Structure 1
Amino acid sequence: MSKKRIVFIGDSITEWGRFEDSENLGNNYVRLIHDHLLVTNPNHFPEIINQGIGGNRITDLAARWQEDVLDLQPNLLSISIGINDVWRQLDNDASIEQVLPDQFEKIYLELIQKTREHTEAKIILMEPTIIEEHIDSLGNEKLKAYVNVVHKIANLFDLPVVPTHQAFLEYLQSNATYPLTIDGVHMNNAGNYLMAQTWLKTIGLL
């Protein structure tokens, strides 16, 4: 029996360190999920492929979907996107065409439909995490619409959602003082652990 293949696709939060890593996994939540699955079931350990690329928005995923997802024929596909779709609205770069929630939803739907048509993959959607470690930051306010899109699509296709945004908000609401990011967006080890833990719990592996 061939190994099961899990593909993680997303932006820099998924990519973090993978291009400097001989295993192409990096130092991120994907690595922690990899290590958990390895030590808990070493005889049936899946192949894990990290397809995160820094700066990506949903439009960038669409441009590379064939090569980086469909051609790989994953058994399980995990998608984490949305942070840069919002971030590019905050950095006031007039040269960049914005991806607003309606377009985000349209493209996301197309990607899910293509994946269902051309693969047998089980698809897992992840909520975009946070922009600044303040619940009421402008970034987090704008993220709400994108989180809602993820849930709308999940309901439409009966897909599981990893509640990573909610997990971070709950942590912030606890008034914990230890940060989860190095800059308000990119994870430190604690943030990566929270993402990995939430992912594993969602799919019943923790």
Structure 2
Amino acid sequence: MTTKLKKIGQMGSLLTFAMLAGASSLVQGAEIAVKSGEKIAFMGDSITAAGAQPNGYVLLTISGLESAGVKTTAIPAGISGHKSNQMLGRLEKHVLSKKPDWMTLSCGVNDVWHGKRGVLLDQYKVNITKIVDQCQAADIKVMILTSTMIKEDQTNKLNQTLKGYNDFLIELAKEKKCLIADLNADMQAIIAASEDKKGGKLLTRDGVHMNPMGNKMMATGLLKSFGLSADQIKKAQASWES
């Protein structure tokens, strides 16, 4: 398998690999969790704010669902620089008051990246748990996204610190019965599988914020978590190229 992965070079193949990295969750004929007519709030930081722009992961997710026959509406809720404490503080205004059916939560990069101005893990756990609890109390279903990498090098100190935050998110998703899109794992897998690392800009334009390939990677992860089959995800990916 390792030799085979090293031969993957084309962007389309890498996206397919990201999809198949979680193949155990891709069940043919499985029911898609989100339904037509539902609203999805996308809570996050600058990665999510940019994701609501053309060809960003937010809109790619919406179009990918539509290609599978599920028509939904996005409620963008990404603000540049925001951390878990700020997202908790604006949850009512930007999510709860909009009465979405779903919320995806992308939070953690700035909590770590901002260093002394960031949020330590213990308080991060409190903030994220409160966000999930308040959404679920309002009958909003939650998908948690693991935080994407801070520079495309898993060995650096920031990513090693971020691992603890993502480990918590995975455990919280299990505890609260939330959907989980492990984007960090998908991102690491794609980078490891690519012979050309693009100077640390394979999936990002600056080491953190997604480039077009990174946005497709994120959208693929969300569609996978929502329950689209492998064939449905391939159809969505093909639609992004048309």
- 1:156 paired with 2:182, answer no
Once the two structures are TM-superposed, the CA of residue 38 in structure 1 deviates from its matched residue by 3.0
Q: Does 1:110 align with 2:130?
A: yes
Alignment of 1:1-206 (within 5 A): 3-16=37-50, 18=52, 25-41=53-69, 44-89=70-115, 96=117, 98-117=118-137, 119-177=138-196, 178=198, 179-205=202-228, 206=233
Q: Which has the higher contact order (CA 8 A, sep 6+)?
A: 2
Equivalent-residue separation in structure 2 for 1:27 and 1:63 (angstroms)? 29
1:135–1:172 CA contact under 8 A, matched in 2: no
| Residues paired across the two proteins, number | 190
**What is the letter of the counterpart of residue 128 of structure 1?**
S
CA–CA separation in structure 2 for the residues paired with 1:174 and 1:135:
14
Partner Cα distance (2:221, 2:127) in 1: 25
TM-score normalised to structure 2 length:
0.74
Task: Tell me which stretches of 4 or more aligned residues in structure 1 moved more than 4 Å.
Answer: none
Q: Deviations over 1:131-157 (max 9, x none)?
A: 111121222111101101111211211
Instruction: Rate the CA distance shift 1:8–1:153 in 2: closer, same or farther, 3 A.
Output: same
CA contact (8 A) 1:5 1:76 kept: yes
**CA distance, structure 2, for counterparts of residue 152 and residue 29 of structure 1:** 24
The CA distance in 2 between the partners of 1:166 and 1:69, in whole Å, is 27
CA distance in 1, matches of 2:82, 2:91: 12
The TM-score, its normalising length taken from structure 1, stands at 0.86
3-state SS of paired residue (1:132) = coil
- Root mean square deviation, CA, Å: 1.7
Q: SS of the residue aligned with 2:62?
A: helix
Percent identity of paired positions between Structure 1 and Structure 2? 30
